[in-house]
Amino acid sequence: MKNLSLIIIIFMASIITACNSDSNVVVVYTSVDQVFSEPVLKAFEKETGIKIKAIYDTEETKSTGVLNRLLAERNNTQCDVFWSGDPVRTIVLKTNDIIQPYNSEMAKGIDAAFKDTDVYWTGFSARARVLIYNKDILSRADVPQSIFDLVKEQYKGNVAIANPLFGTTTFHISAIFNALGDDRAKQFMMDLKANEVIIATSNGDVKKRVMQGQVACGLTDTDDAYEAMKESDNVDIVFLDQDGIGSLIMPNTVNLMKNSPNAENGKKLIDYLLSKETESRLAISCAQMPLHKGVETPQDVTSLDNIKPMSIDYDKTASKLQEIQLYLKNWVENN
């Protein structure tokens, strides 16, 4: 009997130890490039002692891989926090009722335009869609100033975009569909195809092709564009449509998953991501633009105050993204 009691005590002790271990964990899925997101997550781990378990997207399936995984796990939640590179995928999760509200105190200084009205998600550290161009091929005077210039004969076969089935390119095209209406947007896509647009595997591939002079210019995000400018003197960027529809601004978003296994630690991570310190770190590492006022940034990081933003309804854009997926698939396959 004594031996049985001892076994029970040891067994219970092992369960308590395991529970304590599990309680010191937070699981995060992210579509943000690992080279930029991982240092932030490691800093959180070091500062709080809470162990990070992270799942990262690949460059080629950006934002789609972890999104599909979260949807597949909806009845068996494994993730606590989703850190997305744009709001659209987060809104898809909200529509599918697999995230829960969390109103972080750290979000007070962030404009309401970058928050879900029901606090299911909060935006921080934004990127913009820009045109990157090769200065050895295009003079400044010859650089397109509007996304709609890309269909002009003079740029035929000399423009690259990332695969529009994935990542921020999908977001961008969805926003264009909402801005123009389906008919005009489809005509624009047809004109791009007729002008022999190059479909790259990713935004990073667009950057590489422009740097190497394989194409004159291409659409990408500010983080990739600024990285290219650090690597080479032969590239520069343009914020498109400053006299027209404006440039698309894409905040990161963060949300708490419904039935999160480690919800309290998840909230701590969300607070950390929404802090000015994190925004400053992302401004330094990948030229992202803070949404808090008064955040210290490198001199070459453009302020949102100096950019005409594209008018966008994130909920409608998320809905449009799902609506045009089959159209985009056909467009890519028949390109």
122 and 38, same structural domain? Answer: yes
Q: pTM of the prediction? A: 0.80
In a domain, 9, yes or no: no
In a domain, 134, yes or no: yes
In a domain, 6, yes or no: no
170 and 54, same structural domain? Answer: no
329 and 232, same structural domain? Answer: yes
> Is the pLDDT assigned to residue 178 strictly greater than 80?
yes
3-state secondary structure of 27: strand
When pLDDT is averaged across residues 7-24 and rounded to a whole number, the result is 44
What's residue 22's pLDDT? 57
> Is the pLDDT assigned to residue 1 strictly greater than 70?
no
Number of compact structural domains in the chain:
2
68 and 33, same structural domain? Answer: yes
What's residue 4's pLDDT? 43
207 and 326, same structural domain? Answer: yes
173, two tokens: 């095209």
232 and 134, same structural domain? Answer: yes
In a domain, 131, yes or no: yes
88 and 139, same structural domain? Answer: no
Task: Output the CA–CA distances (angstroms, integers) from residue 188 to 161, 180, 200, 240, 320, in the order listed.
Answer: 14, 10, 18, 16, 16
The CATH number of the domain where 112 resides is what?
Answer: 3.40.190.10
In DSSP notation, 145-169 reads: SSGGGGGSGGGTT-EEEE-TTSHHH
Distance CA 126, CA 105 (A): 19
Task: Output the CA–CA distances (angstroms, integers) from residue 280 to 9, 99, 104, 128, 144, in the order listed.
Answer: 49, 27, 18, 17, 31
pLDDT band at 9 (very low <50, low <70, confident <90, very high): very low
78 and 149, same structural domain? Answer: no
In a domain, 1, yes or no: no
Distance CA 249, CA 175 (A): 10
Highest mean pLDDT among 84-88, 265-269, 322-326: 265-269
31: left (phi over 0), alpha (psi -120 to 50) or beta: alpha
227 and 137, same structural domain? Answer: yes
Range of the domain at 261: 24-126+251-305
107 and 139, same structural domain? Answer: no
pLDDT band at 199 (very low <50, low <70, confident <90, very high): very high
In a domain, 19, yes or no: no
In a domain, 12, yes or no: no
Cα–chain center distance at 238: 20
327 and 257, same structural domain? Answer: no
When pLDDT is averaged across residues 265-272 and rounded to a whole number, the result is 98
140 and 102, same structural domain? Answer: no
In a domain, 18, yes or no: no
Parallel, antiparallel, or unpaired for β 25-30 and 51-56?
Answer: parallel
